[in-house]
């Protein structure tokens, strides 16, 4: 990772489709550098100051963005919001760097660096939230099941949705913390106690859980498998792309990254043999920095 840096510009901008959306952004790195937009995962995962350290501060001008409102918050609204930010910052084209769940406008992209591929197919969501990862983390799975009565556990995403929108604040918060704890406890090959502790932060848990669940219960606001269809890939096939995937990622499994590679053989796919999902695992972190350096060196 590169040394820590601080943003030289930050603020909020109005979302494209709703007055309720005030999206936070920040700009760091070289003011004259090659623009890259950092898009956090989740959806709703948020950013961390360490995220700036993936990029060479002498070569890159880094933008971050995030939002927490559910109204008019769909995949297609996100693309429009990102376009608003691009125009606000007077960027013609930029590199896109993100993990897990990322969306953007292909006509404005120089390159893509992606980590832990999620396309929101029903099979992917079922593996993590219903029947799959549960077989590898049984003790954490029991804690995730706890807020939901046994008779209702046949559809965990939908049952969590009802509780995350309960009029009872205590029910909402308990559900949010259990939802986020499940993800934090399974995001690394070796469980991180510090990551799991993040789930106890009320604001973080509530925001992350509600936004993630909102997208998942609506299946990403797209047809099942849409992002892997040839006609969709053809729209971005020309974009230089590097994908970094943890072999033991049980949140966004390697089968999806491999399905992407089969549909889009032009991408460079790195499967890290000793990593799960988190960008903070050493092998993934190292390969992401290398990927950003490669894209900066291409002069795109």
pLDDT per residue, tens digit, the chain (300 aa), is 899 999 999 998 887 776 777 788 899 999 999 999 998 876 766 678 899 999 999 998 886 655 556 777 888 888 888 898 899 999 999 999 988 665 656 789 999 999 999 999 999 999 999 999 999 999 999 999 999 999 999 999 999 999 999 999 999 999 999 999 999 999 999 999 999 999 999 999 998 999 999 999 999 999 999 999 999 999 999 999 999 999 999 999 999 999 999 999 999 999 999 999 999 999 999 999 999 999 999 876
- Distance, CA of 250 to CA of 275 (rounded, Å): 10
* Cβ 60 vs Cβ 29: under 8 Å: yes
- Distance, CA of 216 to CA of 157 (rounded, Å): 7
* Cβ 39 vs Cβ 75: under 8 Å: no
Place of tokens 């013609």: 92
- Distance, CA of 48 to CA of 110 (rounded, Å): 24
Known catalytic residues? 100, 249, 277
**Residues near 6 by Cβ (< 8 Å), separated by ≥ 6?**
28
Long-range contacts of 286-291 (CB under 8 A, 24+ apart): 287/244, 288/54, 288/97, 288/113, 288/115, 288/244, 289/1, 289/2, 289/54, 291/113, 291/242, 291/244
270-291 burial, b at 16+ Cβ within 10 Å, e below that, comes to bbbeebbbbbbbebbbebbbeb
Q: Alpha helices, DSSP H only, in the chain?
A: 75-88, 122-129, 138-145, 156-164, 169-186, 193-197, 202-217, 230-233, 254-263, 282-297
- C-alpha distances (whole Å) from 276 to each of 89, 129, 183 are 35, 16, 12
* Cβ 200 vs Cβ 59: under 8 Å: no
Q: Which residues pair with 23 in a beta bridge?
A: 13
- Distance, CA of 145 to CA of 289 (rounded, Å): 37
* Cβ 86 vs Cβ 237: under 8 Å: no
Asked, as a colleague might, if the bond just before 43 is cis with ω within 30 of 0, I would say: yes
pLDDT for 81 equals: 86
Q: What is the DSSP letter of 4?
A: P
Q: What is residue 264's three-state secondary structure? A: coil
pLDDT for 39 equals: 87
Query: What DSSP string runs through 64-127?
Result: EEE----TT-SHHHHHHHHHHHHHHTT-S-EEEEEESS----GGGEEEEEEES-----HHHHHH
Which phi and psi angles does 189 have, rounded to 5°? -60, -45
Instruction: State how far Cα 289 lies from the chain centre.
Output: 17
Task: Find, among 131, 137, 124, the residue nearest to 154 by Cα.
Answer: 131
- Distance, CA of 243 to CA of 260 (rounded, Å): 10
pLDDT for 139 equals: 96
- Distance, CA of 258 to CA of 261 (rounded, Å): 5
């Amino acid at each position: 990772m590169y040394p820590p840096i601080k943003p030289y510009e930050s603020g909020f901008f109005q979302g494209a489709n709703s007055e309720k959306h005030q999206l936070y952004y920040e700009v760091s790195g070289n003011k004259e550098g090659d623009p890259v937009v950092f898009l956090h995962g989740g959806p709703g995962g948020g950013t961390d100051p360490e995220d700036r350290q993936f990029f060479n501060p002498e070569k890159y001008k880094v933008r971050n963005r995030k939002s927490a409102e559910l109204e008019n918050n769909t995949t297609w609204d996100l693309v429009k919001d990102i376009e608003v930010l691009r125009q606000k910052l007077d960027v013609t084209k930029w590199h896109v760097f993100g993990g897990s769940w990322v969306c953007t406008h292909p006509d404005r992209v120089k390159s893509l660096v992606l980590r832990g591929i999620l396309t929101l197919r029903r099979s992917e969501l079922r593996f993590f939230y219903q029947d799959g990862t549960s077989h590898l983390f049984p003790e954490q799975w029991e804690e995730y099941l706890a807020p939901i009565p046994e008779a209702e556990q046949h559809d965990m995403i939908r049952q969590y949705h009802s509780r995350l929108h309960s009029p009872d604040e205590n029910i909402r918060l308990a559900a949010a913390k259990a939802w986020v704890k499940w993800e934090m406890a399974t995001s690394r090959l070796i469980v991180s106690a510090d990551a799991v502790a993040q789930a106890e932060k009320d604001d973080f848990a509530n925001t992350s859980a509600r936004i993630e669940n909102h997208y998942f219960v609506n299946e990403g606001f797209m047809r099942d498998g849409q992002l892997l269809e040839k006609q969709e890939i053809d729209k971005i096939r020309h974009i230089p792309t590097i994908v970094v995937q943890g072999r033991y990622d049980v949140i966004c499994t390697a089968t999806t990254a491999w399905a992407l590679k089969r549909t889009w053989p032009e991408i460079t796919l790195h499967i890290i043999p000793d990593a799960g999902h988190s960008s903070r695992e050493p092998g993934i972190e190292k390969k992401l920095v290398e990927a950003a350096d490669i894209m900066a060196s291409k002069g795109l």
